[in-house]
Amino acid sequence: MPDHSPDTLPTPSDPSGPCPRCGRVSNFEVEKNGMWIMAKIDELGPGFAAAEQAAILRCAGCKDAVVVITDGAGSGLHWYPAPGMGTLDRAVHKGVASAYDEGMRCLGIGANRAAAVMFRSALSLFVKDKGSEAAKGERHLKTALKHMKADGDLHKSLWEWADHLNQLGNEGAHPEDYDDVTSGEAEGLGKFVRHLIAHEYEMPARLLRDQGLLADESDAERASQDSAPRGGPAGRLMNPGDPENFR
């Protein structure tokens, strides 16, 4: 039986955790469960046992549903929609957000090397966005992040975490040089990037917004977006010049 944790993605046996649709930590109602996708001969008894099952879980926060595929023991294998997509604060650098989102989509299908490449790309764009000239000039990510820590542009705890990640410092000189990446390594890198985004972009933006010092969107605009259907007459999608359209 998997552990109960609000930090892990929801499954029928642990129906709480981050919602792949709205990004909130939420509780889920198990609407359908135990739909067999694949069976195998039961080693413990006669007949067949489920090797993969599907479930539909509905988020108490956004009221939309997600599909979860689990193994025979109930551990999550796959989620639809892919977790982590499009749930970042609008203040996050667009390139960083796009690379992180794509990395999460890769993780969701077990494409670990591709995920690591996208997470490294997010970090590299972060260095270009926030780093000093010295940090930007570094070819290796770990050294660049070390520069940023020395410059006061990266929190010490984040640098210490970065220093312990196998997948930072493994970047080869050529695209074909990438080592194998385990799912644990790719997930670890993804978590690091998520924390870095929260710490370096989202928290500062929320601090300013709550003090009324961040004019990234007027209250009137936000109110009309909250009440209008997505892409409706007052929605963000109606402004063709808004880079948010491409998130």
Question: Which residues form the interface with Zn ion (CB under 5 A)?
Answer: 19, 21-22, 59, 61-62
Q: Measured from the CB atom, is 29 or 42 closer to Zn ion? A: 29
Q: How far is CA 35 from CA 14, 55, 136, in A?
A: 17, 7, 51
| Residue 151: strand, helix, or coil | helix
Q: Measured from the CB atom, is 18 or 188 closer to Zn ion? A: 18
The sign of the CA dihedral 137, 141, 147, 149 is positive
Shortest Å distance, C-beta 143 to Zn ion = 39
Q: Contact 87/236 with Cβ under 8 angstroms?
A: no
Shortest Å distance, C-beta 157 to Zn ion = 29
- Please enumerate in sequence order all residues whose Cβ is within 8 A of that of 240, keeping only pairs 6 or more positions apart, or say none: none
Distance linking the first and last C-alpha atoms of the chain: 37
Q: Measured from the CB atom, is 25 or 134 closer to Zn ion? A: 25
Q: How far is CA 230 from CA 16, 235, 237, in A?
A: 26, 6, 8
Q: Measured from the CB atom, is 72 or 81 closer to Zn ion? A: 81
Shortest Å distance, C-beta 66 to Zn ion = 8
Shortest Å distance, C-beta 79 to Zn ion = 12
Shortest Å distance, C-beta 61 to Zn ion = 4
Distance (Å, rounded) from C-alpha 9 to C-alpha 67?
A: 11
Q: How far is CA 64 from CA 56, 57, 91, in A?
A: 10, 9, 25
Q: Measured from the CB atom, is 21 or 130 closer to Zn ion? A: 21
Q: Measured from the CB atom, is 22 or 198 closer to Zn ion? A: 22
Residue 54 bridge partners (DSSP)? 35, 69
Shortest Å distance, C-beta 45 to Zn ion = 38
